[in-house]
Amino acid sequence: MKRKVTKAIFPVAGLGTRFLPATKSIPKEIMTLVDRPLIQYAIDEARAAGITEFIFVTSRGKGALEDYFDNAPVLEAALRRDGKDKLLDILNSTNMESGAIAYIRQHKALGLGHAVWCARRLIGDEPFAVILPDDVIAGEKSCLQQMVEAYEETGGSMVAAMEVPPEKTSSYGILDVADDSERLVSVNKMVEKPAEGTAPSNLAVIGRYILSPDVLENLETIDRGAGGEIQLTDAIAKEIELGRGVHGYRFEGQRFDCGSKAGFLQATVAFALQREELRDEFAQYLSDLTSLPRAAQ
């Protein structure tokens, strides 16, 4: 019987240097798309997939991230006093129950694989999810929920996947597909950031994973990979070498790379246009903005 996936790791130890100077004083994961921080989108996705235990792998300077999920008694009292019940409900939805969330420090920046390995004692022998908050995925059903449903049929380990332009494959972990059945693909091999022109496909790994606890054992023994870091992709690839199943899942939804400024801006526009109270005014502004250059020609 396959065990349910109830634990998720959120690697959030990065310095967010691409967003300096903003990230000089606040964690990148607290930066907001409209009025919700990146990390809230990741938490909501995990909750929708049935995750009940949330493990954050952090580093020095992430205190604001920890405070975000705590109660805010003074603010709550002020909203209650002023009768702002809707805002109070929004605020309460960000709170985490005592014991549901844990924080682990990654003291050395040795890569994603090392960050996941840091949480090994809290995972034990259970399957677990990994969510990278930089990848924000909008869809009718959350990406991780889609994967959990597929995982119930496959077991093993699973990665979210999407096609990327061939010239961008060197920026991703890339799948060598053994068997392709539309949404679900059986993986023959995984290559982390292949050199230009050597990628086995253009099917890239995106920041959602459901992993067997065996992957944690692999992280104990693998050598450093691309960039001199301990690569999670390499630990998953070892599962294939050992004859244990690894699948890719083509999720339904739109992915935004919020680790880049362009992706963050694109996500901000997309999510603003989804908001009923903002849509008309914002769409009109965008229309006026884009018509100015044409009028000037």
Instruction: Name 101's bridge partners.
Output: 54
pLDDT above 90 coverage of the chain, percent: 41
What mean pLDDT comes out for the span 177-187? 81
pLDDT above 70 coverage of the chain, percent: 95
What mean pLDDT comes out for the span 2-7? 85
pTM (2 decimals)? 0.88
Is 179's pLDDT higher than 60?
Answer: yes
User: What CATH code would you report for 7-259?
Assistant: 3.90.550.10
At 131 the pLDDT is 96
At 296 the pLDDT is 47
pLDDT in tens, 279-290: 999 998 888 887
Least Cα distance to 105 among 51, 71, 65 occurs for: 65
Residue that is written with structure tokens 């250059």 in the block: 293
Structure tokens at 104: 């682990």
Classify the C-alpha dihedral 175-176-180-185 as positive or negative.
negative
Domain regions of the chain by residue span: 7-259, 261-297
What mean pLDDT comes out for the span 183-193? 85
What mean pLDDT comes out for the span 168-180? 83
Buried b (16+ CB within 10 A) or exposed e, 43-58: bebbbebebebbbbbb
Task: Give the Cα separation of 2 and 95 in Å (integer).
Answer: 30
Q: Please, what's the largest Cα pairwise distance for the chain?
A: 66
H or E element, residue 130: strand 128-131
What mean pLDDT comes out for the span 209-227? 83
Task: Give the Cα separation of 21 and 199 in Å (integer).
Answer: 35
